[in-house]
């Protein structure tokens, strides 16, 4: 049913996305789909990488690691933004079409009051794309 | 499906230090083991994520709180101390500011014409993040914006008055007049020339030279050398790895301090000006309530703009202001004495160049009041303001060559200042000497712009645009300032959680209100200006860092 799964990853906080990565692996195997790991980095040096190109390298290495886990084909897509925190949602929505994904799997937090001012990234992406979006919420026992 | 080659950027095989791939095209990365954010504290109090540089954040927060409490509680005791400090700085160390500013300006000017101008920020093949219009609007809005609104009329007029007044000597043989250079007693044409030259001098190459030095050095050390985007990085050529320790913390704390107090005091004074304008135009009572509502409103819009980010927030507001400012400028040129302004632009530019050596001479000045009270004051202000402006323009300038950067940060704004000051100054002076309208001269400083517009047609509309411009310039200052402070206190990270930016914007608004109501705004402004002194040293180091950094960069063809 799904051919290409897009997975936004935050290389600085891999622990947060761990549960959703497991789901991605299951889904990819189930649908025999390709997984495209998407990362967003600032133009300025950051904690993950000192240049956008170093970031791309690390993302690629990460994808290859994941390929060993689920055995499905992988690809990567790096988004470089002057202000990643503010542009994240719009950049991800754009990336869905660019990579041609038909399913997006991303972690999110449970709804909270602050969402009125700062909507969750997952929620915003889901309302602005034609692709299916699977939002993974942390479980109470996690 | 196998890997989609389209999804990957072409990999450049060139490597910087330790196998870190260079950004687009060749650069010369600095070899360091420091990981950006390694000294940061991450936590989630009340479900809000934070990611901060522990020492820089904590110490700046403590220093700021102490300062505010002390100035509010001991207002009468603190004010004389600040005033004494500042008058010592301008009278005894005025030469140092003048000398420093000359160095920055000359270096920036010279770099345009050297082969180093070919180095590209972000690597030889980097492409700009922002288009020319958006980029230039942001440079201008961050750099001067508000000042042009405030001083466009009042400064030329002020210098014109003192120049006409001529030289007056005190009993001790020291000049008591405030006229620039040798004044022009009774010589109307000479006084106009001198007053315009002096005004343009304060808004021309020198301030932008300081901004250019800070902006360029930060940009090179962040985008080409791979160091975090904070002030400490430009000290790398001198301090080496020690910048990650206390020497670096102190520099960053100083930068936070200068930026926050510079912003807060400007926010307070700007609200005063906007409230004055609203009162003048609509008769809205100029009370403390109006001021508080204005600051709250400005902060609220700034918050919205912060949430939208640089691209959709600051850039759009800056562009809006650019258009409004251009409309106002064109209006004044067309409706005012068009011919006088047109010839004035050329005359004033020539007058500026002619008087530049004398005006910027750091030693042996006879016009002590002017060179210390005006020039040294301005230089201290621009330099104290430079970490904020420099850091912001560094962040939006990736992909430009050094030459492009310097022409856009140094020459274009200077020409814009010439046109702006000429249009507003000439119109005001023309009203006074040719039309016998003295209203502008007699009005309070913050109302002079509105009084001048009143004697032109459509004054209700133009004055309103004037007020909107003042307010929007403050919004852009407030949100770009919050971005800058946030990135310094997050150890150079620009992707720290959003609530931190909101925190700083709220702090700015709250401080401005507290100081406005509790008094002490002027004292704090003096304190902010005092940071100009250490920053002159920081910038001189930056000059060394820039040249050293650029020499080791490959140049684009």
Closest-CA residue to A10 (of B89, B510, B223, B496): B496
> Which chain A residues have a beta carbon less than 8 Å from that of B4?
36, 75, 99
Q: How many interchain CB pairs under 8 A, A with B?
A: 123
Interface contact A43-B129, CB threshold 8 A? yes
**B514 pLDDT exceeds 60?**
yes
Question: B200: which residues sit within 8 A by CB, 6+ positions away?
Answer: B348, B349, B351, B352, B414, B417, B418, B421, B422
Yes or no: say if A76 and A63 are a contact pair by the CB < 8 Å rule.
Answer: yes
**B77 pLDDT exceeds 90?**
no
Smallest Cβ–Cβ distance between A45 and the set B1, B36, B483 belongs to B36
Smallest Cβ–Cβ distance between A43 and the set B16, B48, B398 belongs to B398
Q: Which residues of A touch B (CB under 8 A)?
A: 3-4, 34, 36, 42-47, 49-54, 56-57, 60, 73-78, 81-87, 99, 112, 114, 117-118
Smallest Cβ–Cβ distance between A84 and the set B21, B307, B495 belongs to B495
* Mean pLDDT of all residues in B272-297: 86
Domain membership of residue A142 (yes or no) is: no
Residue carrying the six token digits 């700062």:
A118
Yes or no: say if B483 and B391 are a contact pair by the CB < 8 Å rule.
Answer: no
Interface contact B1-A3, CB threshold 8 A? yes
**B517 pLDDT exceeds 90?**
no
Residues B53 and B46: their CA atoms lie apart, in Å, by 19
pLDDT band at residue B13 using 50, 70 and 90 as cut-offs: very low
Per the structure, the complete domain to which residue A57 belongs is given by 4-136
**B45 pLDDT exceeds 70?**
no
**B12 pLDDT exceeds 50?**
no
Interface contact B8-A51, CB threshold 8 A? no
Yes or no: say if B392 and B138 are a contact pair by the CB < 8 Å rule.
Answer: yes
Interface contact B307-A53, CB threshold 8 A? no
pLDDT beneath 70: ranges in chain A: 115, 140-142
* Mean pLDDT of all residues in B265-287: 82
Tens digits of residue pLDDT in B370-422: 888 889 888 988 888 888 888 888 888 988 999 999 999 999 889 989 999 99
Whether B309 has its CB under 8 Å from any CB of chain A: the answer is: yes
Which one is predicted more confidently, B268 or B304?
Answer: B304
Residues 386-415 of B with CB under 8 A from A: 395-396, 398
| φ, ψ at B386 (rounded to 5°) | -65, -30
Q: What CATH number did the domain enclosing A37 receive?
A: 3.40.50.620
Mutate to test the interface with A, among B494, B497, B500, B502 (most CBs of A within 10 A): B494
**Least confident residue range of B94-98, B249-253, B298-302, B307-311:** B307-311
Residues B61 and B59: their CA atoms lie apart, in Å, by 5
* Mean pLDDT of all residues in B500-516: 84
**B286 pLDDT exceeds 90?**
no
**B529 pLDDT exceeds 50?**
yes
In angstroms, the Cα distances linking B198 to A6, B337, B433 are: 60, 21, 19
Residues A8 and A90: their CA atoms lie apart, in Å, by 13
**B475 pLDDT exceeds 90?**
no
Whether B7 has its CB under 8 Å from any CB of chain A: the answer is: yes
> Which chain A residues have a beta carbon less than 8 Å from that of B47?
112, 114
Interface contact B21-A34, CB threshold 8 A? no
Q: Where are the domains of chain B?
A: 36-551
Joined together, the tokens standing for residue A60 give 């690629």
Residues B217 and B234: their CA atoms lie apart, in Å, by 6
Across all residues in chain A, what is the average pLDDT? 86
pLDDT band at residue B15 using 50, 70 and 90 as cut-offs: very low
| φ, ψ at B52 (rounded to 5°) | -130, 150
Smallest Cβ–Cβ distance between B307 and the set A42, A60, A118 belongs to A118
Closest-CA residue to B158 (of B359, B363, B369): B369
Give the three-state DSSP class for A77: strand
In angstroms, the Cα distances linking B44 to A84, A111, B47, B49, B500 are: 20, 16, 5, 4, 12
Question: A53: which residues sit within 8 A by CB, 6+ positions away?
Answer: B9, B11, B12, B21, B22, B23, B24
Tens digits of residue pLDDT in B78-137: 778 878 887 888 888 889 999 999 999 999 999 999 999 889 998 878 888 888 888 888
In angstroms, the Cα distances linking B56 to B3, B252, B495, B537 are: 44, 7, 17, 20
Residues B471 and A92: their CA atoms lie apart, in Å, by 33
The DSSP call for residue B227 is: -
Looking at the complex, report in whole angstroms how far the Cα of residue B490 sits from the nearest Cα belonging to chain A.
11
> Which chain B residues have a beta carbon less than 8 Å from that of A36?
4, 7
User: What share of chain B has pLDDT > 70, as a percent?
Assistant: 92
pLDDT of residue B22: 59
Name the region of A10 (left: φ>0; alpha: ψ -120 to 50; beta: rest).
Answer: beta
ipTM (interface pTM): 0.80
Number of neighbouring beta carbons within 10 Å of residue A41: 25
Interface contact B493-A75, CB threshold 8 A? no
**Least confident residue range of A1-10, A24-33, B20-29, B173-182:** B20-29
The DSSP call for residue A78 is: E
Tens digits of residue pLDDT in B189-210: 899 999 999 999 999 999 999 9
Smallest Cβ–Cβ distance between A36 and the set B7, B9, B122 belongs to B7
The DSSP call for residue B48 is: -
* Mean pLDDT of all residues in B145-163: 86
| pTM strictly above 0.90 | no
Chain A residue with CA closest to B48: the answer is A114
Looking at the complex, report in whole angstroms how far the Cα of residue B237 sits from the nearest Cα belonging to chain A.
18
Domain membership of residue A130 (yes or no) is: yes
pLDDT band at residue B48 using 50, 70 and 90 as cut-offs: low
Mutate to test the interface with A, among B14, B121, B309 (most CBs of A within 10 A): B309
pLDDT of residue B556: 62
**B520 pLDDT exceeds 70?**
no
Tens digits of residue pLDDT in B435-461: 888 777 888 877 888 888 888 888 889
pLDDT of residue B46: 63
CATH fold label, B36-551: Amino acid/polyamine transporter I (1.20.1740)
| φ, ψ at B93 (rounded to 5°) | -110, 10
CA angle (B525 as vertex; B377, B357 as ends), nearest 5: 15
Residues A75 and B1: their CA atoms lie apart, in Å, by 10
Interface contact A53-B4, CB threshold 8 A? no
The DSSP call for residue B401 is: B
Chain A residue with CA closest to B394: the answer is A44
Give the three-state DSSP class for A136: strand
Residues 445-474 of B with CB under 8 A from A: none
Smallest Cβ–Cβ distance between A82 and the set B38, B311, B492 belongs to B311
pLDDT band at residue B67 using 50, 70 and 90 as cut-offs: confident
Residues A81 and A100: their CA atoms lie apart, in Å, by 20
Residues A115 and B368: their CA atoms lie apart, in Å, by 58
Whether B484 has its CB under 8 Å from any CB of chain A: the answer is: no
Yes or no: say if B25 and B124 are a contact pair by the CB < 8 Å rule.
Answer: yes
* Residue A71: its H or E element: none
Yes or no: say if B160 and B178 are a contact pair by the CB < 8 Å rule.
Answer: no
Closest-CA residue to B361 (of B370, B162, A78): B370
Joined together, the tokens standing for residue B364 give 């042996």
Interface contact A118-B228, CB threshold 8 A? no
Residues B483 and B381: their CA atoms lie apart, in Å, by 21
Yes or no: say if B491 and B230 are a contact pair by the CB < 8 Å rule.
Answer: yes
pLDDT band at residue B21 using 50, 70 and 90 as cut-offs: low
Chain B residue with CA closest to A4: the answer is B1
Whether B97 has its CB under 8 Å from any CB of chain A: the answer is: no
Smallest Cβ–Cβ distance between B9 and the set A78, A81, A87 belongs to A78
* Residue B244: its H or E element: none
Yes or no: say if B59 and B515 are a contact pair by the CB < 8 Å rule.
Answer: no
Residues B479 and B459: their CA atoms lie apart, in Å, by 30
Interface contact B1-A34, CB threshold 8 A? yes
> Which chain A residues have a beta carbon less than 8 Å from that of B24?
52-53
> Which chain A residues have a beta carbon less than 8 Å from that of B226?
45, 50-51
Number of domains in chain A: 1
Domain membership of residue A141 (yes or no) is: no
pLDDT of residue B58: 86
Looking at the complex, report in whole angstroms how far the Cα of residue A36 sits from the nearest Cα belonging to chain B.
9
| φ, ψ at B513 (rounded to 5°) | -65, -50
Whether B130 has its CB under 8 Å from any CB of chain A: the answer is: yes
């Amino acid at each position: 049913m799904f051919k290409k799964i897009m997975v936004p990853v935050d290389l600085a906080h891999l622990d947060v996305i761990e549960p959703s990565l497991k789901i991605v692996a299951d889904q990819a195997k189930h649908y025999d789909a390709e997984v495209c790991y998407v990362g967003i980095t600032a133009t300025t040096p950051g904690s993950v990488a000192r240049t956008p190109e170093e970031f791309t390298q690390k993302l690629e290495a990460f994808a290859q690691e994941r390929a060993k886990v689920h055995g499905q084909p992988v690809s990567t897509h790096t988004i470089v933004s002057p202000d990643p925190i503010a542009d994240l949602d719009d950049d991800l929505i754009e990336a869905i079409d660019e990579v041609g994904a038909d399913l997006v799997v991303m972690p999110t937090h449970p709804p909270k009051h602050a969402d009125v001012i700062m909507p969750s990234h997952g929620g915003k992406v889901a309302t602005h794309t034609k692709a299916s979006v699977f939002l993974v919420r942390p479980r109470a026992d996690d | 499906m196998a890997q989609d080659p389209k999804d990957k950027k072409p990999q450049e095989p060139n490597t910087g230090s330790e196998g870190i791939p260079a950004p687009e095209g060749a650069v010369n990365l600095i070899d360091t083991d420091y990981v950006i954010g390694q000294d940061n504290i991450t936590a989630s109090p009340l479900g809000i994520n934070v990611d901060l540089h522990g020492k820089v954040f904590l110490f700046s927060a403590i220093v700021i709180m102490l300062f505010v409490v002390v100035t509010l509680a001991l207002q009468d005791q603190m004010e004389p101390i600040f005033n004494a400090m500042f008058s010592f700085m301008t009278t005894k160390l005025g030469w140092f500011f003048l000398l420093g500013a000359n160095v920055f300006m000359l270096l920036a000017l010279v770099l345009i014409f050297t082969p180093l101008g070919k180095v590209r920020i972000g690597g030889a093949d980097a492409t700009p993040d922002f288009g020319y219009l958006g980029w230039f609007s942001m440079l201008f809005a961050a750099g001067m914006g508000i000042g042009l609104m405030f001083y466009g009329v009042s400064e030329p007029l002020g210098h014109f008055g003192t120049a006409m007044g001529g030289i007056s000597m005190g009993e001790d043989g020291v000049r008591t007049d405030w006229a620039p250079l040798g004044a022009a007693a009774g010589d109307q044409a000479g006084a106009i020339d001198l007053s315009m030259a002096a005004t343009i001098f304060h808004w021309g190459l020198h301030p932008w030279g300081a901004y250019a030095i800070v902006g360029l050095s930060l940009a090179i050390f962040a985008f080409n050398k791979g160091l975090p985007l904070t002030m400490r990085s430009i000290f790398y050529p001198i301090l080496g790895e020690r910048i990650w320790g206390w020497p670096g913390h102190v520099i960053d704390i100083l930068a936070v301090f200068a930026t926050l107090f510079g912003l807060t005091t400007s926010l307070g004074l700007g609200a005063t000006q906007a409230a004055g304008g609203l009162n003048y135009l609509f008769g809205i009572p100029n009370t403390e309530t109006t001021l508080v509502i204005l600051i709250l409103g400005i902060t609220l819009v700034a918050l919205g703009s912060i949430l939208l980010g640089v691209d959709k927030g600051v850039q759009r507001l800056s562009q809006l202001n650019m258009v409004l400012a251009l409309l106002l400028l064109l209006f004044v040129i067309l409706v005012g004495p068009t011919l006088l302004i047109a010839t004035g632009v050329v005359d004033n530019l020539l007058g500026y160049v002619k008087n530049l050596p004398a005006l910027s001479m750091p030693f042996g000045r006879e016009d002590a009041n002017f060179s210390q009270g005006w020039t040294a004051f301005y230089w201290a202000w621009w330099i104290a303001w430079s970490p904020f402006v420099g850091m912001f323009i560094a962040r939006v300038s990736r992909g430009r060559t050094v030459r492009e950067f310097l022409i856009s940060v140094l020459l274009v704004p200077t020409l814009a200042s010439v046109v702006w000051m000429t249009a507003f100054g000439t119109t005001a002076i023309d009203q006074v000497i040719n039309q016998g309208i003295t209203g502008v001269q007699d009005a309070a400083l913050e109302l002079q712009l509105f009084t001048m517009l009143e004697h032109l047609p459509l004054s209700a509309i133009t004055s309103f645009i004037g007020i909107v411009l003042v307010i929007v310039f403050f919004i852009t200052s407030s949100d770009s300032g919050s971005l800058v402070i946030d990135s310094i206190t997050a150890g150079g990270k620009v992707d720290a959680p959003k609530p931190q930016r909101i925190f700083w914007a709220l702090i700015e608004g709250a401080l401005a209100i507290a100081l406005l109501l509790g008094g002490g705004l002027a004292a704090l402004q003096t304190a902010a200006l005092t940071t100009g002194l250490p920053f002159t040293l920081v910038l001189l180091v930056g000059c060394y860092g820039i040249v050293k950094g650029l020499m080791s960069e490959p140049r684009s063809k």
